[in-house]
Every structure is written in structure tokens, then in C-alpha cells.
Amino acid sequence: MPSLLEGTVITLELSALAITAALILGMVIALAALSGRKAMTLPAGAFVQSMRNTPLLVQLYLVYFGLGMIGLGLSAFLSGLIALTAQNSAYIAEIYRGGLQSVGRTQIEAGKALGMRRREIFELIELPQAFMRVVPPLCNQFIQIIKDTSILSAIAVGELMHQGKMLSERTAATYEIFIMVGLFYLVITSIVTFATRSFERRFAIAH
């Protein structure tokens, strides 16, 4: 039990760090992708496509074993955090982009007709409307990140999944331990879902 709780703490740490980093990096990538300048859209697009179309596990091995081989050895925790952030920032960038693009053209034209500047239109019209639309898909992505931290057990980051597996090898109470671990994940992801739902309800804007 104590080792499972210890693992849960590490899972939560990893998730919180990866979510924060991916939210920020995703915004940078989304803005680059929407900038309309080839020098920025091309690398942003290449990053998103290469992250979305390769497995997290392979990226993780590349960071952990690949960088280690050329003398840039990172700790398992840091390697995992980098891989988690890289993969999920690509997904989050796409969520932001979808949200911004879903704001109707007429909204932007109305802003222009009122004599607003490009920046004002972005900050006062596009961003607030896009914000509410990205909350539900972001919630899904947060859950995905929390679940994906389990993959880091493959390089022995001592998070929940890894602790569960080690405990089951030591005690042979495999059934009970894995069900326990599953319940831990279920509780964490349920809390996230519940929190975003109530957030959505509180900040819902009437259309």
C-alpha cells in the first residue's frame, strides 16, 4: 500500500508537470501554425505530424536510450516528462487550433466593422469564445496524459503502474494489486472529469 501511494504521488507530479508544459508548448505551436508565415507553419506542422504519428513508447526510448548514447543521459523521470510533453503538446496544439478556427468568420468581420485592431479581435472575440470550446477536448487530453504516464513504467520511472507491477511480483497477490491500481487511476481520472465539468458549468457563456 505505501508504495502504491508513493507511486500515485509520482503519477500526479508527472501528470501535472506534463499538462502544464503541454498547455504552454501547445499554445506556442498553435499560434505558429496559424501565423500564416511559411517559416513558422512548416516546422509547427512537421512537429505536430511527427508527434501524432509515432508511438509515445518509441519517443520515450529515443529520448531515454538515444540521448543517453550520445552522452546526454537524462534521468528516467525527465526523459518521461519530455516525451509526454512533446507528444501531448502536439495534440493540444490541434485542440487550440480547432477551437480558434471554430469561431465564425462573421464574428471577426463584426469586430473589424467596429474598427477593432487585429490584436483586439484576437483577445476580445476569438480567444474567449475559443476558450470555452476547447475545455471538453482538453479534459479528454488531460485524462489521456494521466493514463499515458503508465507507459513510463517501461523505463522504470517509479510511478503508480511501476510500483503496482513490482508489488505484484513481490507479493504474488497480482489480482488484488492490479484491481487496486486500476481503481487509483479511475479515481484520479474521475476527479479530473468532475472538475472540468463543474468548471465548464461555472464559466458557460450563453450564446
- Residue 207 has which C-alpha cell? 450564446
User: Which of 8, 59, 79, 85 touches other proteins by CB under 8 A?
Assistant: 59
User: Which of 14, 76, 138, 165 touches other proteins by CB under 8 A?
Assistant: 165
User: Which of 69, 72, 113, 206 touches other proteins by CB under 8 A?
Assistant: 69
Nearer to other proteins, 24 or 50 (CB): 50
Query: Which range binds other proteins by CB under 8 A, 61-69, 113-121, 130-138, 199-207?
Result: 61-69
Nearer to other proteins, 175 or 206 (CB): 175
CB of 53 to other proteins, least distance (A): 4
- The region, left, alpha or beta by phi > 0 then psi within -120 to 50, assigned to residue 85 is alpha
3-state secondary structure 90-147: HHHHHHHHHHHHCCCHHHHHHHHHCCCCHHHHHHHHHHHHHHHHHHHHHHHHHHHHHH
105: Cβ–Cβ under 8 A, 6 or more apart, which residues?
Answer: none
Among positions 89-148, residues that touch other proteins (CB under 8 A) are: 143, 147-148
User: Which of 25, 32, 103, 161 touches other proteins by CB under 8 A?
Assistant: 161
- Supply angle C-alpha 165, 166, 169, rounded to 5: 90
| Contact call for residue 47 and other proteins (CB under 8 A) | no
8 A C-beta contact, residue 67 and residue 74: yes
User: Which of 20, 50, 101, 107 touches other proteins by CB under 8 A?
Assistant: 50
Element (H, E) at 76: helix 76-101
| Contact call for residue 53 and other proteins (CB under 8 A) | yes
User: Which of 25, 56, 81, 93 touches other proteins by CB under 8 A?
Assistant: 56
Size of site (CB under 8 A) for other proteins: 39
Number of other CB atoms surrounding residue 142 within 10 Å? 23
49: Cβ–Cβ under 8 A, 6 or more apart, which residues?
Answer: none
| Contact call for residue 62 and other proteins (CB under 8 A) | yes
Chain residues that interact with other proteins, rule: CB under 8 A: 49-50, 52-59, 61-62, 65-66, 68-70, 143, 147-148, 150-151, 153-154, 161, 164-165, 168, 174-175, 178-179, 181-182, 185-186, 188-190
